[in-house]
Chain A
Amino acid sequence: MNSNTIYLDNSATTKPLPEVMQTFLQVNELYYANPASIHEAGVEANALLMRAREQIANIVRTEAKDVIFTAGGTESNNFAIFGTAQANVHKGKHIITTKIEHPSVLEAVKILAQQGFEVDYLSVNEAGVISLDELRSKVRKDTILVSIMHVNNEMGAIQPIQDAAKIIHEQSRAIFHVDAVQSFGKIPVQFNDQNGPDLITISGHKIHALKGSGALIFRKKLTIAPYIVGGGQEFGLRSGTVAVPQAVALAKASRIAVEAMAEKTLQYEKWYKDLHLFLRNFGSNIHLLSSEAGAAHIISFSVKELKGEILINALQKHGIIVSTSSACSSKQTTTSHVVEALNIAPSFKKGVLRLSFGAQTIDAHIEQFKTIFSDIMCDLKGENK
Chain B
Amino acid sequence: MTTIYLDHAATTPMLKEVLVEMTAAMETVYGNASSIHTAGREARKALDEARAILAKQLGATANDIILTSGGTEADNMAIFGVAYARKHEGKHIITTEIEHHAVLHACEKLERQGFKVTYLPVDETGRVAVSAVEKALTADTILVTVMYGNNEVGTLQPIEEIGELLKHHPATFHTDAVQAFGLEKIEVEKLQVDLLSASSHKIGGPKGIGLLYAKAGTKMDSLIYGGSQEKKRRAGTENIPAAVGFAKAAQLMAEAQPKTRKAYEQYKAILIEEFTQAGIEFTVNGNEEHMLPHVFNVTLPGTDVESFLVNLDMAGVFVSSGSACTAGSIDPSHVLVAMYGKDSAALRSSIRFSFGQGLNEELVRDAGKRTVNIVKRLT
Contacts and interface: CB of A to CB of B under 8 A. Distances in A.
A312 interface: yes
B226 A328 contact: yes
Please classify the interface of chain B as helix (H, G, I), strand (E, B), loop, or mixed, using the class held by over half of its residues.
Answer: loop
A245 B207 contact: yes
B47 to A, nearest CB: 11
A1 B326 contact: no
A229 B241 CA distance: 26
Interface string B82-110: 00000000000000000011110110010
Interface in B18-34: 19, 23, 26-32, 34
Interface string A305-335: 0000100100010000111100111111000
B29 A73 contact: no
Interface stretch (B4-12, B55-63, B287-295): B4-12
A233 B100 CA distance: 13
A231 B101 contact: yes
Contacts of A75: 69, 224, 236
A1 B38 contact: yes
Given A205-B237, A327-B32, A39 B76 contact: no
Nearest to A45: B11
A328 B227 contact: yes
Nearest to B106: A229
Interface string B329-371: 0100000000000000000000000000000000000000000
Interface in B208-260: 208-209, 223-229, 235-242
Interface centre among A5, A28, A71, A312 (most CB of B within 10 A): A71
Contacts of A312: 36-37
Given A41-B7, A229-B109, A330 B35 contact: yes
Nearest to A330: B36
Contacts of A9: 31-32, 35, 37, 39
Interface string A285-310: 00000000000000000000000010
Given A16-B30, A108-B225, A327-B35, A74 B328 contact: no
B166 to A, nearest CB: 24
Given A28-B13, A212-B239, A316-B37, A21 B26 contact: yes
Contact of B328 (A38, A41, A239): A38
B318 interface: yes
A33 B227 contact: no
Interface stretch (A99-107, A135-143, A254-262): A99-107
Contacts of A167: none
A1 B31 contact: yes
A104 B226 contact: yes
Contacts of B105: 229-230, 232, 239
Contacts of A97: none
A36 B324 contact: yes
B17 to A, nearest CB: 13
Interface residues of B, number: 74
Interface string A6-26: 010100111110000100010
A211 B240 contact: yes
A18 B334 CA distance: 44
A13 B37 CA distance: 13
B42 A71 contact: no
Interface string A164-201: 00000000000000000000000000000000000000
A148 B73 CA distance: 26
Contact of A40 (B3, B240, B242): B3
Contact of B208 (A103, A104, A246, A309): A246
A324 B36 contact: yes
Contact of A228 (B76, B237, B238, B312): B76
Contacts of B19: 25, 28-29
Interface centre among A14, A70, A327, A331 (most CB of B within 10 A): A327
A1 B30 contact: yes
A85 B339 CA distance: 39
Contacts of A211: 237-242
Interface centre among A16, A38, A40, A74 (most CB of B within 10 A): A38
A331 B7 contact: no
Contacts of B240: 211
A312 to B, nearest CB: 6
Contacts, number: 265
A230 B72 contact: yes
A39 B6 CA distance: 11
B313 interface: yes
A110 B226 CA distance: 10
A328 B67 CA distance: 17
A75 B192 CA distance: 31
Contacts of B23: 21, 25
Contacts of A324: 36
A243 interface: yes
B33 to A, nearest CB: 8
Nearest to B113: A86
Contacts of B70: 71, 240-241, 243
A229 B100 CA distance: 11
B328 A36 contact: yes
A70 B208 CA distance: 9
A5 to B, nearest CB: 7
Given A211-B242, A228-B72, A328-B227, A15 B26 contact: yes
A128 B201 CA distance: 42
B37 A323 contact: yes
A336 B29 CA distance: 26
Given A37-B324, A211-B237, A78 B225 contact: yes
Contacts of B36: 309, 312, 323-324, 330-331
Contact of A37 (B10, B71, B241): B10
A37 B7 contact: yes
Interface centre among B223, B318, B327, B328 (most CB of A within 10 A): B327
B146 interface: no
B37 A1 contact: no
A306 B42 CA distance: 26
A56 interface: no
A231 B325 contact: yes
9 contacts: A13-B31, A37-B10, A74-B236, A107-B235, A211-B237, A239-B72, A239-B101, A240-B73, A241-B72
Return the 10 tightest CB-CB contacts between A and B, nearest first.
A231-B325, A104-B226, A71-B69, A230-B102, A212-B239, A243-B208, A328-B227, A240-B72, A74-B236, A243-B207
